[in-house]
Structure 1
Amino acid sequence: MKCGHKLQEEAAVSQTAAASEYQSQSQPQTAYVPQQPNQRVRQAKKVSKSFFSYFTEGIKNPTATAHAAGESQFVNALITVILYALSIPIMLYVGWKLLLIQFVRSMFKLPIISEELAPSDMEDFNTGTDLIKATDINSIIHFNFTDFVFKQGIFIFIGLAVIIGATYVAAKFGKVDVSFKEFFSRFGTFMIIPTALLLIGLVLAFLHVEYFSYFMNFGLLSIFLVVPFTIASFKQSGTNGLDRIYSTLIVYVVITIVLTFIANGLGEEAKTIITRMGNSSELNDLF
């Protein structure tokens, strides 16, 4: 009996030792896991700091910054292009009511319509305008932020990729010896000013300032300046290449086609909004 009791005690001691050994082996792993998120946070801070410095310098000295941009600025240029692509749909989501008000107000200024309007009609319009600005129509008509912004943002980003690709091909036909990453970096750096205009417009849209549409238009049309600036910033390696004027004109055709597709997509979204507004009983009761 004593022998059996002694065996049980030895077995218990060995199990306890094995358990403590297992815990000591697994302890360093649990201590190492929290370090991974911290490393990602540090990396994100490093990238954001680098981009802020790059973006600020691009606003102060756009030409010099673009000429100095090489493959090392590819990530910063990519972030700029993404910001450009996302700023437009976010701005439209926030400020489409202001665009609608601007459109109706411009229609009222037409001689054919203004002659038929009484002073009380304009007072009613101004009252309705204030009510529209104060009402969260997006939630009433179930206009989803995520669906609209990401769908149109991806669509615009693809359009920009096509434009950048077409510009790169045109530059290659012009005997420009450059890698795609370096070309993309310089193109994206020249897009800093248009992106800054869109970001200013975005802030104005959040503040319900109707002038945001001017910054949006300037930002969109600035893409026509980015193309020749980018092509002209590279030296030709030969004399038999495609002339830069023709290269620019070819890319302008591509830009026009891309903008047409984007406008059609936004037009379909506008039709959906108008249809939902017309079918909304809550809006009919409100107005």
Structure 2
Amino acid sequence: MVTCPNCHHQNDDGNFCEKCGTRLTEGEPVVTGGASAASIEAARPNEHLEKAKNVSKLYFGYFMGLLKSPLAKGSQISEGHFVNGLITIILYSLILPLSMYAGIGEYGSYIDSPFLSIVIKPALTMMVFVFLISVFTFCAVKVVGLQVSFKSVVARFGALLVPFITIFALGLLMALFGIYEFVFVLALGLFGAIFTVPAIVVMSYTRNITTKFDPLYGIILTYVASFIVFALILRGFIMNMVDSLGIFSSPF
């Protein structure tokens, strides 16, 4: 067993921590046989690159595990996967506008700065929206009266988004091949996540626990807050599209 110097996680083996990705072997190579320090430095693998590879490998395993058993494994995720939860939220928020950009095709030429207007800004807005839903979900859990950390709720929320990322990925492929029904697939991935993930997260904490405040009301409050924010974001998006296309602008 090797203890991580950063998070103190007990690792069975390997050069990097399974939890945070910190390098576990800190020893410096000894210069022998006249080898120059520069040659040894060149031969030494890039630590940041190796760490990135290790993190991506760990995330892939995390993603595939949740894809196989989203409810069983997602309901047990703890705050140790907080970073993975954030990565999943970012991916979920990015694929939707990318699919719309791919689906618009040649019509994007009628929009000023189409990639900025259709991908970058909506992706950032989507990230804020999804993160706010996770915050509302945390509030619902706290209203019920449970002592749960914010990181734990966000980690579990992000984990349960994994199947919906797959749905979005399918929509993106359909958009790339010009199958215009991709819009319905994206709608399924969007509203399916909004309706199911907060409820599953709240119930995963309150299962078999008697509380004064029924969890159902916490879920309903989460939906109300989420759809208020969604309505505001949708209104802003529509107005932005109207301005970009120059609709209703005076010709004089």
- Structure 1 residue corresponding to 2:195, chosen from 224, 228, 247: 224
Amino acid at match of 1:175: G
Structure 2 equivalent of residue 170 of structure 1: 140
Structure 2 equivalent of residue 156 of structure 1: 126
Amino acid at match of 1:60: K
Structure 2 equivalent of residue 285 of structure 1: none
Q: 1:251 to 1:141 in 2, by over 3 A?
A: closer
Contact preservation (8 Å) 2:102, 2:175:
yes
For the residue of structure 1 that corresponds to 2:166, the secondary structure is helix
Q: 1:94 to 1:272 in 2, by over 3 A?
A: farther
Contact preservation (8 Å) 1:175, 1:237:
no
Q: 1:90 to 1:30 in 2, by over 3 A?
A: same
Q: 1:35 to 1:266 in 2, by over 3 A?
A: farther
- Give 5+ residue unaligned stretches, structure 2: 1-35
Give deviations 1:97-147, integer Å, cap 9, x for gaps. 6xxxxxxxxxxxxxxxxxxxxxxxxxxxxxxxxxxxxxx342464433135
Query: Structure 2 length normalisation: TM-score?
Result: 0.75
Q: Please report how far the alpha carbon of residue 237 of structure 1 lies from its aligned counterpart in structure 2 after TM superposition.
A: 9.6
* Whole-angstrom distance in 1 between the partners of 2:131 and 2:212: 24
Query: Structure 1 length normalisation: TM-score?
Result: 0.67
For the residue of structure 2 that corresponds to 1:68, the secondary structure is coil
* Whole-angstrom distance in 1 between the partners of 2:111 and 2:160: 39
For the residue of structure 2 that corresponds to 1:234, the secondary structure is helix
Mapping of residues 129-278 of structure 1, within 5 Å: 136-139=106-109, 141-222=111-192, 223-235=194-206, 239-275=210-246
Structure scoring higher RCO (CA < 8 A, sep ≥ 6) equals: 1
Mapping of residues 10-29 of structure 1, within 5 Å: 28=37
- Give 5+ residue unaligned stretches, structure 1: 1-26, 98-135, 280-287
* Whole-angstrom distance in 2 between the partners of 1:57 and 1:191: 13
* Whole-angstrom distance in 2 between the partners of 1:89 and 1:267: 14
Structure 2 equivalent of residue 93 of structure 1: 101
Q: Please report how far the alpha carbon of residue 161 of structure 1 lies from its aligned counterpart in structure 2 after TM superposition.
A: 1.6
Which has more radius of gyration?
A: 1
Amino acid at match of 2:142: K
